[in-house]
């Protein structure tokens, strides 16, 4: 652009001065001003004036064209400078974007992970901007560190509270067991104590779920493998509607000891979901079967199912592909599938959710073959094996024709005949009278009808005798077992040695009457798992483990 001072001088030189000369010439040649000088002189003056005007006009045009050229050149120069600046700013913006991207994708994650922070790429040319980048990096790292410290403190607090709740639940269960021992002859007291024991187990399950969601281990370790069907039963014993669970499948496939408790907890969470989502009048079907890659546990409910979007979200969580924290559980915490996903990711379990043929949801848990082993079949005593031609039937089976009734009573062991308190004990076959052959039964060809189920009063009396015998018959029980083991060692060699060492099979015989298998006061437990089946131990009380009921909650 033309500077203002130069433009002003050029304008005065080209326009103002010629105009002043022209006006002066007109004034001189004006006839009236000359006082009537001759017409010739006037014409000459007018011609001169016209010539001056023409020259002035040409100069004006040339000056205008020069100004236009200068203006055009200035515009071109400005456009060139503008283009250069735009290119420079675009390049600078691209460099800054790349620097910020490198800061967010590389440098900041490295700083948050505690790793060495690389230099910015590309290097920032402006020192002030580079300093601001470093300040942003330091501020973000400090903020994340503070949040992590708070989260870790919160996690430790939740874990500590969960362990306290677990310990409290275990104390409640111990008190319930003591109450059963003191009032074993009262069915109402037994029912109330067992309901309290089951409620304490639910409380412990909630606490264990919180601990698992905090990244802690469940706190329990089994010492030997257990059959998967027993694992399912143990999981069913940890939910409210355990009566609605029906289990079937392979009996000889077992989980190794390290994954027994995780599998029990996983099954408990899935069963709790199934029973809560299905009508209360329906059953939850559980099937255990062997497959090529291991074994599967299938859980089917007859609920309403889930839509495709909700089912896909639940599959991501249950499979462990999306681990949830406390912030992801929502205002109404849904911890069940989150706990299952934690176990699946930790132990490499394959968990999937599919539409069930019963209308609800089918949960499939694939246990890899590396976590399984085959159980050895239990040894059957030779005296209990049926002879050729004999067939045993539950509840009145058919026997060979010509059999007669058993008229003589089986001899009672001395300890039982004495009437003293004692535990049901395993007896050596040497002290037992020979059982009459089937040919001595009645000629009707039918076994005697099964005895009617015992009344609650009779069952309570038996349990009272059981707990009373625990205090007086422990020493006698151990002495009898030692005697049996010594006698067996003289005839059967290694089998007797195994029993003397406590590794042989034991078959406790019932006392005055068999304990009832049903009723609301039956102990809630997992058949086949120690600490859950309610069977008496060496001291006459059910086996207990402080960590047996460290379970979690499923919603």
Q: For the chain, give the longest Cα–Cα distance.
A: 182
Kindly report, residue by residue over 440-476, the tens digit of the pLDDT.
444 444 555 555 655 655 655 555 555 555 444 444 4
Contact (Cβ atoms closer than 8 angstroms) between residue 275 and residue 284: yes
The angle at the Cα of 371, spanning 365 to 377, to the nearest 5 degrees, equals 100
- pLDDT value at position 248? 93
At residue 93, the pLDDT reads: 83
* Cα–Cα distances in angstroms (integers) from residue 339 to residues 207, 231, 422, 452, 491, in the given order: 12, 17, 45, 44, 53
Q: Over the stretch 475-492, which tens digit does the pLDDT of each residue have?
A: 444 444 444 444 444 443
Structure tokens at 253: 């496939």
44 in a structural domain: yes
pLDDT at 375: 85
* Separation between Cα atoms, residue 160 and residue 167, nearest integer Å: 11
Residue 355 covered by a domain: yes
Same domain? For 180 and 258 the reply is no
Domain co-membership, 169 together with 239:
no
Task: Pick 489 or 319 by higher pLDDT.
Answer: 319
Residues 97 and 157 in one domain: no
Q: What is the C-alpha to C-alpha distance for residues 235 and 275, in angstroms, rounded to an integer?
A: 13
Domain that holds residue 233: 226-374
Give the contacts of 233 (CB within 8 A, at least 6 positions apart).
Answer: 247, 526, 527, 528, 529, 532
Residues 353 and 261 in one domain: yes
Taking phi first (over 0 means left), then psi (-120 to 50 degrees means alpha), and beta for anything else, what does residue 290 get? beta
250 lies in the same domain as 325: yes
Q: Are residues 246 and 355 in the same domain?
A: yes
Which candidate, 178, 276, 196, 214, places its Cα nearest to that of 549? 196
Residue 514: which residues within 8 A CB-CB, separation 6 or more? Answer: 454, 462
Sign of CA dihedral 219, 224, 227, 229: negative
- The pLDDT score that the predictor gives to residue 437 is 46
Residue 484: inside a domain: no
Residues 280 and 362 in one domain: yes
Q: Phi and psi at residue 378, in whole multiples of 5°?
A: -65, 140
Same domain, 243 and 364: yes
Q: In this structure, are 364 and 245 located in the same domain?
A: yes
Residue 510 in any domain: the answer is no
**C-beta separation of 167 from 548 below 8 A:** no
Pairwise CA distance, residues 31 & 39, whole Å: 8
Pull the structure tokens for residue 22: 């022209």
Residue 435 lies in a domain: no
Q: Which residues contact 161 (CB under 8 A, 6 or more apart)?
A: 207, 210
Most confident of 88-102, 130-144, 174-188: 174-188
Q: Give the Cα separation of 120 and 133 in Å (integer).
A: 9
pLDDT per position as a tens digit, 282-292? 999 999 999 99
Domain final residue, candidates 374, 408, 426 = 374
Q: Are residues 186 and 252 in the same domain?
A: no
* Residue where a domain stops, chosen among 317, 339, 374: 374
Report residue 298's pLDDT band, with 50, 70 and 90 as the boundaries.
very high
247 and 187 within one domain: no
Residue 330, classed as helix, strand or coil, is coil
Mean pLDDT for the chain overall: 71
Whichever domain contains 287, its CATH number is: 3.30.565.10
Instruction: Report the relative pairing of strands 284-291 and 245-249 from DSSP bridges.
Output: parallel
396 has pLDDT over 50: no
Number of domains the chain contains: 3
What's the confidence (pLDDT) of residue 8?
A: 52
Top-ranked range on mean pLDDT: pick from 125-129, 199-203, 474-478: 199-203
Say if 76 falls within a structural domain. yes
> How far is it, in rounded angstroms, from Cα 238 to Cα 199?
9
Are residues 269 and 341 located together in one domain of the fold? yes
**Residue 247 included in any domain:** yes
374, 409, 432: which is the final residue of a domain?
Answer: 374
The predicted pLDDT at position 351 comes to 95
Specify if 89 maps to a domain. Answer: yes
């Amino acid at each position: 652009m033309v500077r203002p001072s130069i433009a002003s001088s050029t304008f005065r030189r080209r326009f103002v001065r010629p105009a002043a000369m022209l006006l002066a010439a007109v004034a001189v040649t004006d006839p009236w001003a000359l006082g009537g000088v001759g017409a010739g002189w006037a014409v000459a003056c007018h011609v001169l004036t016209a010539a001056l005007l023409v020259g002035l006009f040409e100069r004006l045009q040339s000056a205008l064209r020069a100004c236009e050229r200068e203006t055009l050149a200035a515009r071109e120069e400005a456009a060139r400078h503008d283009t250069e600046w735009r290119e420079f700013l675009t390049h600078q913006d691209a460099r800054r974007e790349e620097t910020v991207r490198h800061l967010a994708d590389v440098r900041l994650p490295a700083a948050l992970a505690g790793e060495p922070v690389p230099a910015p790429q590309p290097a920032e040319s402006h020192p002030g901007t580079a300093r601001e980048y470093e300040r942003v990096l330091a501020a973000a790292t400090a903020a994340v560190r503070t949040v992590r410290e708070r989260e870790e403190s919160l996690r430790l607090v939740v874990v500590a509270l969960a362990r306290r709740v677990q310990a409290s639940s275990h104390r409640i269960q111990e008190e319930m067991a003591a109450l059963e021992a003191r009032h074993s002859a009262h069915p109402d007291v037994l029912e109330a104590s067992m309901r309290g024991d089951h409620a304490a187990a639910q409380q412990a399950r909630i606490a264990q779920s919180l601990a698992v969601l905090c990244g802690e281990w469940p706190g329990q370790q089994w010492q030997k493998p257990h059959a998967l069907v027993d694992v399912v039963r143990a999981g069913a014993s940890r939910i409210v509607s355990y009566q609605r669970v029906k289990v079937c499948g392979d009996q000889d496939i077992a989980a190794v000891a390290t994954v027994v408790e995780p599998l029990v907890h996983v099954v408990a969470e899935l069963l709790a979901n199934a029973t809560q989502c299905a009508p209360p009048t329906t059953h939850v079907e559980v099937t255990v079967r062997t497959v090529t890659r291991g074994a599967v546990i299938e859980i089917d409910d007859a609920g309403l199912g889930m839509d495709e979007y909700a089912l896909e979200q639940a599959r991501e969580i249950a499979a462990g592909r999306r681990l949830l924290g406390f912030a992801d559980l929502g205002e109404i915490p849904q911890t069940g599938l989150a706990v299952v996903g934690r176990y699946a990711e930790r132990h490499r379990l394959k968990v999937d959710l599919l539409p069930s043929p019963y209308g609800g949801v089918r949960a499939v848990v694939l246990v890899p073959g590396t976590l399984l082993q085959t159980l050895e079949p239990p040894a059957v005593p030779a005296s209990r094996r049926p002879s050729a031609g004999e067939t045993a039937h539950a509840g009145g089976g058919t026997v060979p024709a010509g059999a007669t009734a058993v008229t003589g009573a089986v001899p009672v062991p001395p300890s039982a005949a004495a009437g003293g308190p004692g535990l049901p004990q395993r007896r050596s076959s040497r002290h037992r009278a020979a059982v009459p052959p089937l040919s001595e039964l009645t000629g009707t060809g039918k076994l005697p009808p099964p005895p009617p189920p015992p009344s609650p009063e009779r069952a309570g009396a038996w349990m009272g005798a059981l707990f009373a015998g625990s205090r007086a018959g422990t020493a006698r029980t151990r002495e009898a077992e030692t005697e049996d083991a010594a006698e067996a060692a003289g005839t059967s060699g290694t089998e007797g040695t195994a029993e003397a060492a406590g590794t042989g099979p034991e078959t406790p015989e019932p006392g005055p009457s068999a304990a009832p298998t049903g009723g609301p006061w039956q102990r809630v437990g997992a058949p086949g798992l120690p600490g859950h089946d309610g069977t008496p131990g060496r001291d006459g009380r059910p086996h207990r483990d402080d960590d047996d009921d460290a379970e979690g909650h499923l919603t």
